Chains A and B, each alone.
Chain A
Amino acid sequence: MSESHSNPTASPIVSVRDLRVTFTGGKKPVEAVNGVDLSVARGESVALIGESGSGKSVTLRSLLRLHPERRTRIDGRIDIAGHDVLALGSKALADYRGKVASMIFQEPLLALDPVYTVGAQIVESIRRHEAISKEDARKRALELFERVRIPSPERRLDAYPHEMSGGMRQRAMIALALACKPQVLLADEPTTALDATVQIQILLLLRELQRELGLAILFVTHDMGAAVEVADRFAVMYGGRIVEEGPTREVIRNPRHPYTLALMQARADGAMTKGARLASIPGSPPDLANLPVGCAFAERCAYAQPACLQTRPEAVAISPSHQVRCLRTDATVGAMDRNHDTAPDTLSPALAD
């Protein structure tokens, strides 16, 4: 385990060092996250990308300490805007949530309280953190609703969550998350449950808020397309670790981890020729209660060598800002372009998963 060496006054507003999250509630401990290092600069947006069970949401939730304390072991260090998150007491934690960092969720209907109006929930949140009158808090709530472009905001403040449409609810939840002017916005699959024409509206709204309020956004998604629209930087997770990290453009154009590469090629894209087979990744994601000794992706990897089964690869720097945890980065040079020309069936030796 590497030692924690973070400095709260350094430039990144979010700094995660060697984060390990283990759920101990079941028969076997589940190592959902094992050794994540991540930093987000002020005003930067980073997408955490991965499939179900890759540890992306667990990482995100750790930043607000949302996991049940008794059944979770969290090691490592998380610093957000000068707060040592893992050391906060319960009062300080409540002050920190919403004020310094806040979160929006995939399903606003479950995240919002059904028995209070949306306006009342925002007012409550503001008054929890600031000593201001109800009237002023409501004025702030109205401004927030205008900020996230909810039509007829005055009327909507008195609406209950079920009275709003899906896109409107997501806007209301963003308004709630922004109520106490946090510096960091954590978003857990914020557009997955939305329709295509609404999804793009919310993505554009997030981008605009990032730019105008100087928010740092950490955005969890499985959808590469949505991530490209919002993120400055990509961090791809697999088996509880970040396997590739770099600027969006570099990761998309020149993915160097075989998993990222395979994900890019498995997309049914507009450019596909009819009848051509999709490049699929054989097998299924690893069992987190039973992680292999070596690289978690090795048994599904087209480039795997015996050494991959023995050692967990350390990060290799492709460029100063682009890092990959793989032993075979030599083999993936230019692989994206190679496979675009030929039939991309090279990655599916077997069907069984």
Chain B
Amino acid sequence: MSIGISVEHIGADPHGDRGGPAQPLLTVKKLVKHFDLKKSFLETLNGGGKVVRAVDGVDFKVLKGETLGVVGESGCGKSTTARLLMHLIEPSAGEIVFNGETVGSPALPLREYRRQVQMVFQDSYSSLNPRLTIQDSIAFGPQVHGVPKREALTRARDLLARVGLEPSRFAERYPHELSGGQRQRVNIARALASEPRLVILDEAVSALDKSVEAQVLNLLMDLKDEFGLTYIFISHDLHVVRYISDRVMVMYLGKVAETGPAEALFERPLHPYTRALLSSMPSMDPDHRTEEAPLAGDPPNPIDPPPGCRFHTRCPHAEAVCAQQVPSLESENGREAACLIHEPGSGHSDARAAIYAA
């Protein structure tokens, strides 16, 4: 799609890039977030009390220019991970490396990092200031980062045109005057206004109607190509994740269960949880309806996650060893799975012996 407006000033700055294209844009190491629950007086004295292990040691990489899809059920920590990446909440432990620099180090202060990483939320209405016109909302971020007001407004109007909202009709409107799909376009424009390299889309299309969702997904794909963006796409909709992602990460109870290229992961899931999740998808075929639910019960509570492998309480392949040993994320051929079956020499009867451990 071409429009007669210059958008060169938007998007990734090639000079800001370090390392080669093979260096991950974002590397997350041992990221942990525990929330303290309300403590009794005694627990305060003794330092006890329960914690919610929302994110409990998560490692992953996001490569330059890719879309990483993140899936999982509620309580798996996918949204907490997104918030940690933005430093909207402080991690309890762990390190985030962006473009070769540790976030928060003198080389990459938080303020500069936040310019380069932007987020789009699920609720398009509550994430916009109701008292600002949409062009002021979009221009607000760049102004905070020192762009003069006039230039910021020009940029805002260019972006509105780019996301399919005619500036002369829409720029002066307030959020309540737009439909849900239009508001989500505004949120996308606002995320792009500070020229980010990485955009985190947290259930960004989940609240939209199917017909509008397709429009926004198409727009996201176009913008990614045009501005050389990298996406982290968090969603519970497996169809959409498969469609939009290059790689997919499956989370369960605060841990990574499996990562891998989207097609390979959907075709041949390695982790039993991924397999169950995929076969929970409604079939769309009236002649082959699902006859048996792949899993019973709900995901356990992250306050007291099960010991060992967190999935062992619901896993059809669980053995005694699964309750004792925490599986590590084993990688092979670009795929990773945290399951004792795929860990040679783990003691699980289906696991291979530790031959290739070199």
Contacts and interface: CB of A to CB of B under 8 A. Distances in A.
A197 B211 contact: no
Interface stretch (B121-129, B188-196, B283-291): B283-291
B304 interface: no
A269 B215 CA distance: 15
- Binding site secondary structure of chain B: loop
B284 A252 contact: yes
A277 B221 CA distance: 9
Interface in A159-203: 165-168, 195-201, 203
Nearest to A201: B293
Interface string B244-281: 10000000000000000011001000000000110011
Given A222-B209, A229-B283, A274-B263, A280 B214 contact: yes
Given A195-B236, A200-B294, A285-B209, A353 B280 contact: no
Given A166-B298, A267-B239, A274-B263, A279 B214 contact: yes
Interface in A187-241: 195-201, 203-204, 207, 222-226, 228-229
Interface string B203-246: 00000011111110111010000000000000011111011100
A167 B298 contact: yes
B20 interface: no
A266 B214 contact: yes
A75 to B, nearest CB: 27
Contacts of A207: 289
Contacts of A268: 214, 217, 237, 239-240, 242-244
B239 A197 contact: no
Interface string B160-189: 000011100000000000011110000000
B211 A196 contact: no
Contacts, number: 147
Interface size class of A (residues with CB under 8 A): 35 or more
Contacts of A282: 215
B239 A266 contact: no
B242 to A, nearest CB: 6
Given A197-B276, A199-B280, A352-B164, A249 B287 contact: yes
Given A196-B236, A201-B296, A285-B209, A224 B215 contact: no
Interface residues on B, range: 35 or more
A275 B180 CA distance: 25
B36 to A, nearest CB: 20
A289 B313 CA distance: 52
A59 interface: no
17 contacts: A168-B298, A195-B298, A197-B294, A200-B282, A228-B282, A229-B289, A248-B286, A252-B285, A252-B286, A266-B213, A270-B242, A278-B243, A280-B211, A280-B214, A281-B211, A281-B215, A352-B166
Interface of A: 51-52, 151, 165-168, 195-201, 203-204, 207, 222-226, 228-229, 248-249, 252, 262-263, 266-270, 272, 274-275, 277-282, 284-285, 300, 348, 351-353
Interface of B: 1, 73-74, 164-166, 179-182, 209-215, 217-219, 221, 236-240, 242-244, 262-263, 266, 276-277, 280-287, 289-299, 301
